[in-house]
Structure 1
């Protein structure tokens, strides 16, 4: 059955996502890991401090649509203290943490998102000397989100910069065109060559999310990044939301192809790629991820040791996912798992073993 037919069939079944995912605290083991790898750094402001805003106004896009973000404002006394603290956070995140650059920075906006689980603050920081600006995000710390960020840093083609201190998480902005905006406004104007390249990237992105159990990659949870090569444009797909790392029990949640928001991308794969090409790109991505697992060495082993004993999901989700993965791969290691972290460990180990021990012709016959 083709990918397109599969997604149409699955759309008529039960809802993929749970209504709400709880936040899980960072335990001592993960906290020590973050400290070892310079992710845990003292910061001068916390998420709860930003909740002291005096009022807000809605933020609309260029077409007058509500973005579901609100621009918040603070009392004069609070604003001075908050602005200074946010400038210091920027310096810690992007520079050496010193205060010598603070006089050249301005906090142009503090936006609060009313949609989704994490309810982040988006901070716009501008250099007053040249008007260059960037963003960073302030969120409540959630251990599953932290695991997602670390896995993205190690197993994807992209490095990520983030900080954790107590109950506050600071994330750098990931630049790109939101997937839903690109699919609606730009995809119809792409050439056949660009569409084929986008189809290839979606296959690889789908495979990468599945392998490391990153869920909920609906079109607004990833960005598409155009990279200009010397004679053409290459598109890359990057995840920007890591809330659903290793939480859901339904295996399909970890495959972007099964979300209706991605139907146009799935159609692109069906129309632009032959089945053999899809298999080829899956093998390529599995091999690349396996190489990253091996090259990450002690760092990923320490992270997996943390997550294996951590509570980042519900018992019923663990039971369902390990059964579905066992049925999908026929690997008995999944049956032995008792925590979601052990399921993740078994999935990564399965990919690594296949890369090391199975020939290319045998890999094509594998389902995972």
Structure 2
């Protein structure tokens, strides 16, 4: 297996939200004025390391602020919670408490994780405050449009608010839960991994190492159904190496790939790939305007480097055998070409197979 360090290029920069994307976000009620910004949370006076239940460093730190700052920050974060999860009114604010503001020292986005607790019943929920990045926003919107999952997020100026995606981190699941699964469950997990892998590849979501997705178990009659969900969208349509978009080339996923090889025949793998492409095509067909508006924004935006675009075009031509990618000028046009293939194949306009 190839190492991600060899597959990945230099560190991805933060791409600003341009006027066209801002207009798209306003159209779909993603852009709402919020009372606090990412930079405001950077004013913490100190922090302490956060350890997990096994006393291992999580790479998150718990921040603390001056008394005056904390009072204003708490009030603003409670308001954001009501905007993200409710109607934005102040009625529930007296029943909310900000239990923790954690800052991540690992990764590109350097997010803040906010823990909000309902003081009436002690239920709590998380959300994240991040620096707005255009490529990440495209990733969130594409996930909303093309996957089975709805994405809840808000953007205002240079700040991005994201809902927490619940689930077992992939690396934890592979290490602690997968060995205890029955053979039947492993077959079902292998199927879902193939479909998740196909979805990421088709929509060009890169760097899906095991800690960048979660697995959610759901009890259904006499079985447990496992689903995969991406939780990190920083590498949407940025890298030039096609392998970065293919989960099988990430060493952290090796045990999953090995299990797929043991549990599924090639005919079944191809069947599940077709099922996932068909699902994505149906999603695009049922929301054509939203899809086309988002792709139009991507085509007018800069979310990668010219050398990455040229390399990805080269890899796609080699992999797919279609020269249409040669005329693509940016990542938006590349993604549009791939998605057009998926739709056409579903509608039986073309029998040419992609990927």
- TM-score using structure 1 length: 0.95
2:68 to 77, 80, 84: 77
**1:53 offset after TM fit, Å?**
0.2
**2:3·2:251 contact (CA, 8 Å) conserved in 1?**
no
RMSD over equivalenced CA pairs, Å: 1.2
In the TM superposition, 1:10-29 aligns within 5 A as 11=2, 15-29=6-20
How far 1:12 moved relative to its partner? 7.0
> Equivalent residue for 1:184?
175
Which residue of 245, 262, 279 corresponds with 2:270? 279
Give 1:353 shift: 1.1
- 5 Å-filtered alignment, 1:39-78, equals 39-78=30-69
* Structure 1 residues 211-267: Cα deviation after superposition (integer angstroms, max 9, x where no partner): 000000000000000011011000000000000000000001111111000000001
Residues 63 and 103 in structure 2, CA contact (< 8 A), matched pair in contact too: yes
CA contact (8 A) 2:188 2:225 kept: yes
**CA distance in 2 between partners of 1:114 and 1:14 (Å):** 19
Instruction: Write the distance in 1 (CA, Å) between the matches of 2:3 and 2:291.
Output: 38
For the residues of structure 1 that align with 2:348 and 2:322, how far apart are their CA atoms? 15
Q: 1:332, CA displacement in angstroms?
A: 2.3
Structure 2 partner of 1:100: 91
Kindly state the Cα deviation for residue 326 of structure 1 after the two structures are TM-superposed: 1.5
Task: For structure 1, list consecutive stretches of 5 or more residues without a partner in the other structure.
Answer: 1-7
Task: Give 1:179 shift.
Answer: 0.3
SS at match of 1:163: strand
Q: How many angstroms apart in 2 are the aligned matches of 1:345 and 1:295?
A: 17
Distance 1:86 1:297 in 2: 35
State the Cα distance separating 1:153 from its structure 2 match: 0.3
Query: Displacement, 1:331?
Result: 2.2
Matches within 5 A, 1:263-278: 263-278=254-269
CA distance in 2 between counterparts of 1:296 and 1:266 reads: 33
Cα deviation per residue 1:61-119 (whole Å; 9 max; x = unaligned)? 00111000000000101000000000000000001001111000000000000000000
Alignment partner, residue 189 of structure 2: 198
TM-score where L is the length of structure 2 = 0.98
Instruction: Spell out, residue by residue over 1:28-67, the C-alpha distance to the aligned partner (whole angstroms, 9 max, x if none).
Output: 0000000000000000000000000010000000011100
The residue number in structure 2 matching 1:112 is 103
Match of 2:25 in 1: 34
Separation (CA, whole Å) in 1 of partners of 2:80 and 2:203: 30
Counterparts in 2 of 1:153 and 1:14: CA distance versus 1, 3 Å: closer
Give the one of 156, 163, 169 matched to 1:172: 163
- Does residue 127 of the first structure (1) align with residue 118 of the second (2)? yes
Distance 2:55 2:82 in 1: 34
What does residue 357 of structure 1 align with? 348
The answer for the alignment partner of 1:339 in structure 2 is: 330
d(CA) in 1 for partners of 2:132, 2:239? 19
Deviation at 1:13, TM superposition (A): 9.7
| Contact kept in structure 1, 2:303 and 2:331, CA below 8 Å | yes
Tell me which residue corresponds to 1:241: 232
SS in 2 for 1:145: helix
Counterpart pick for 1:290 among 276, 281, 284? 281
Query: How many residue pairs were aligned?
Result: 355
Q: What's the secondary structure of 1:106's corresponding residue? A: strand
